[in-house]
């Protein structure tokens, strides 16, 4: 694939990136830099805008899913949601390698793009795994609500976990970092981007239950055996802000 000195910018969506992939392979060139709304703010480069084409985006998505082995397709999809500088350019390299070989991309760690993506994916999935245990819900009416502050874009992975875990519940999870609201209604998942956190009046029952739980913990705690270093290792401070047991 020919290397180009061009700079492209897209809307940051997955279908938008699929449109970029479609154009790159049709024109047989990779741009030097691919910007999204987040990275364009910090960039001094002028970039050509690539308009998202849902039809072409869906088409290249289906084609990649057909041609790539499932493990490599999942690697590409996970890589898109990972937090990594220049990830779009790395992903183009990964797609080219995946199309040229039937081997696992995980076996091409000698390539800097694959190595960088793998590290970011592992970090993202690790945070998602931690959140499956650290997310705390409170009933607001008949809805289970939670607020989180993840470093990575984990909602596409976190919501299916709770949809499967609580198939009969209505759930709302708000990601403050990415201004993303996940709505789970009896297993059906919807993600709303660029939205503010819903405001709810705190239910009195939740306050009573929270106070009773804290009273119980204080009663069973042996101060002499408290190991705060071990506590921080098992439950990092950054996860505690939205956990009900640490709220006043």
- pLDDT in the model for residue 54: 94
- Assess contact for 159 and 135: CB atoms under 8 A: no
| Helix, strand or coil, per DSSP, at residue 33 | strand
- The Cα–Cα gap between 170 and 188 comes to 9
- The Cα–Cα gap between 79 and 21 comes to 14
Phi then psi dihedrals of residue 219, to 5 deg: -70, -35
Strands across the sheet with 48-49, in order?
33-35, 7-9, 48-49
- pLDDT in the model for residue 21: 96
Confidence of residue 204 (pLDDT cuts 50, 70, 90): low
- Model confidence at 214: pLDDT above 80: no
- Model confidence at 9: pLDDT above 70: yes
Q: Which residue has the higher pLDDT, 27 or 39?
A: 27
- Model confidence at 64: pLDDT above 90: yes
- Model confidence at 4: pLDDT above 90: no
- pLDDT in the model for residue 56: 95
Question: Which candidate, 239, 77, 236, 83, places its Cα nearest to that of 153?
Answer: 83
> In this structure, what token pair is assigned to residue 72?
């490599």
Sheet strands (E) in 165-240: 170-175, 180-185, 188-193
Q: What is the mean pLDDT of the chain?
A: 87
Question: Which candidate, 42, 37, 33, places its Cα nearest to that of 92?
Answer: 33
- pLDDT in the model for residue 100: 92
- The Cα–Cα gap between 153 and 177 comes to 9
Per-residue pLDDT of 99-110, as tens digits, reads 998 899 999 999
- Model confidence at 82: pLDDT above 80: yes
- Model confidence at 210: pLDDT above 70: no
What is the value of pTM for the model shown? 0.78
- Model confidence at 231: pLDDT above 80: no
What is the Cβ-side half-sphere exposure of residue 135, based on CA atoms within 13 angstroms?
26
């Amino acid at each position: 694939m020919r290397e180009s000195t061009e700079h492209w910018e897209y809307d940051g969506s997955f279908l938008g990136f699929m449109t970029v992939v479609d154009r790159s392979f049709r024109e047989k060139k990779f741009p030097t830099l691919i910007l999204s709304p987040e990275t364009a703010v910090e960039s001094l480069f002028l970039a050509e805008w690539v308009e998202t084409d849902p039809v072409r985006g869906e088409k290249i998505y289906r084609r990649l899913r057909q041609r790539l082995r499932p493990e490599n397709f999942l690697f590409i999809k996970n890589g898109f949601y990972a937090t990594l500088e220049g990830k779009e350019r790395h992903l183009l390299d990964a797609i080219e390698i995946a199309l040229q070989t039937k081997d696992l991309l995980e076996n091409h760690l000698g390539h800097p793009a694959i190595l960088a993506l793998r590290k970011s994916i592992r970090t993202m999935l690790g945070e998602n795994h931690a959140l499956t245990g650290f997310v705390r819900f409170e009933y607001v009416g008949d809805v289970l609500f939670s607020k989180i502050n993840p470093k990575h874009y984990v909602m596409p992975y976190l919501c299916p976990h709770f949809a499967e875990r609580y198939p009969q519940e209505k759930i709302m999870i708000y990601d403050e970092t990415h201004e993303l609201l996940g709505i789970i209604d009896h297993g059906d998942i919807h993600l709303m981007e660029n939205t503010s956190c819903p405001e709810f009046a705190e239910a009195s029952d939740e306050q009573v239950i929270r106070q009773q739980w804290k009273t119980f913990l204080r009663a069973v705690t042996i101060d002499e055996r408290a190991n705060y270093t071990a506590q921080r290792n098992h439950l990092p401070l950054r996860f505690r802000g939205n956990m009900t047991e640490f709220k006043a």
